[in-house]
Amino acid sequence: MSRPGVLTYFQTIAVIETFFLAMLHYPDVYHKAQEEIDRIIGRERLPDLTDRDSLPYLGALVMELYRHVTSNPCMILPC
């Protein structure tokens, strides 16, 4: 694996781990995001890129995850 590939791999892992850690610490955020998905998408299909504009809360959640991973690579959430 080349060095850029390794760095991308670790960044992806960091984002996923940060997501799970954040959802454990903030279950209300998880429920609000799930409610938005259920209301806009339903349970019959998965969201895709065409749904991006219809899911503002989920988009903000993803951007916040990237902000935490970029500013805090040790994956420690602020209090």
Model confidence over 23-79: pLDDT tens digits? Answer: 999 999 999 999 999 999 999 999 999 999 999 999 999 999 888 876 555 555 555
Please list, in sequence order, all residues whose beta carbon lies within 8 angstroms of the beta carbon of residue 76, skipping any fewer than 6 positions away.
none
Whether the model clears a pTM of 0.95, i.e. scores above it, the answer is no
Q: Where are the alpha helices (DSSP H) in the chain?
A: 3-25, 27-40, 56-71
From the CB of residue 64, how many other CB atoms can be counted at a distance below 10 Å? 14
| Length of the chain as a residue count | 79
Residues 6+ apart with CB under 8 A from 52: 59
Half-sphere exposure of 63 (CA within 13 A, CB side): 7
